[in-house]
A = this chain, B = another copy of it.
Amino acid sequence: MVPDTLRWDDGSLILLDQRKMPWETCFVTCRSSEDVARSISSMVGRGAPAIGIAAAYGMALASFGGEDIEAAREMLLASRPTAVNLRWALEVMDSVKEGSPENMLALARNLHKEDIEINRAIGDNGEALIADGSTLLTHCNAGAIATAGWGTALGVMRSCKERGKRIKVYADETRPRLQGGLLTSWELMEDGFDVTVITDGMAAWLMKSGKVDGVIVGADRIAANGDTANKIGTYGLSIVAKAHGVPFYVAAPTSTFDLSIRSGYDIPIEERDGDEVRSPYGKELLSKDIKVWNPAFDVTPGENVTAIVTEVGVLRPPYDSSIATVLRDVKAR
């Protein structure tokens, strides 16, 4: 069984330590906003939706602990730069930052609960796009543990399975941190899927073999024109999918849209320590003295995205208008 990504327990936020899965099931206890920020930047907790919720709980912890609320907000916002869900969750929390700690906790709990419903809805909307018997390829981990539960890209697969569709999955291992090889494979095996891991460089050849019916990935931030920031490697995958006529789906909650950014080239891309490439999880693959480049994300142009699957429906190009329309509807609720 897949453990809870986040849990509020006895005045603390308990995060599943994703750096240790699937080898060990460990949890990190956060008692302050600083604990939460450190857990996000060190990738104890990861996945755009999950870190948004963690940051919301971080604000509640700041309030209970009598911390400087503005400083706590700044620190949480700066903990990772690319996923916009972090900013979105903090903006939602702003509405109660003058209130009691209990008010803040109630709102964080509500975001947490809603995220599961949102993922369920993404799954169900995406399920309609996938034919019975399909083979899907995914990148990184947009699963239950990247969210409050169910998952975005993997949520679509779970919804397919729930409705009796037979789905086979290939997972890119997703270097450098191997979230596909470690987290996606484990999550899907726990749920009884037929999953095969490939190295990132094998995806094009797998498509050439005719084995891939669709690619489905998550997102960290989507610009107004549909340009999508996601885990490094997604952009190249979108190009090879297009070259093979394979549909390329992005599954993400509407909180991932950032209308303040017109195109993906303005999305800040985090560069992380080169040791993630050289020595993932302390396993020394490459020499310490080798120079590496380690951007954590890339941007897939909207023109490479067949559809964006959200909790309120499936968006199609032109994304400028479909995204604007759907966000107007969400705000009007």
Contacts and interface: CB of A to CB of B under 8 A. Distances in A.
Given A195-B291, A196-B292, A277-B199, A236 B285 contact: no
A62 interface: no
A128 interface: no
A18 to B, nearest CB: 15
Contact of A205 (B172, B181, B232, B285): B232
A204 B239 contact: yes
Contacts of A286: 173, 178, 181-182, 185, 197
A285 B174 contact: no
Q: For chain A, give the interface size range.
A: 35 or more
A186 to B, nearest CB: 7
Contacts of A233: 199-202
A289 B189 CA distance: 10
Given A290-B185, A298-B205, A176 B199 contact: yes
B291 A197 contact: yes
Contacts of A70: none
Interface string A213-245: 000000000000000000011011101100100
Contacts of A203: 236
Given A181-B286, A186-B287, A233-B199, A205 B295 contact: yes
A22 B287 contact: yes
Nearest to A298: B205
B239 A197 contact: no
A102 interface: no
Contact of A201 (B172, B181, B185, B290): B172
A208 B240 contact: no
A199 B202 contact: no
B174 A235 contact: no
A92 interface: no
Contact of A181 (B240, B285, B298): B285
Interface string A275-312: 00100100111110111110100110000000000000
A324 to B, nearest CB: 26
A292 B206 CA distance: 12
Contacts of A176: 199
A198 interface: yes
Contacts of A200: 175, 199-201, 233
Contacts of A185: 286-287, 290
Interface of A: 22-23, 139, 170, 172-176, 178, 181-182, 185-186, 189, 194-206, 208, 232-233, 235-237, 239-240, 243, 277, 280, 283-287, 289-293, 295, 298-299
9 contacts: A139-B201, A173-B277, A178-B285, A195-B290, A195-B291, A202-B232, A205-B232, A208-B299, A239-B240
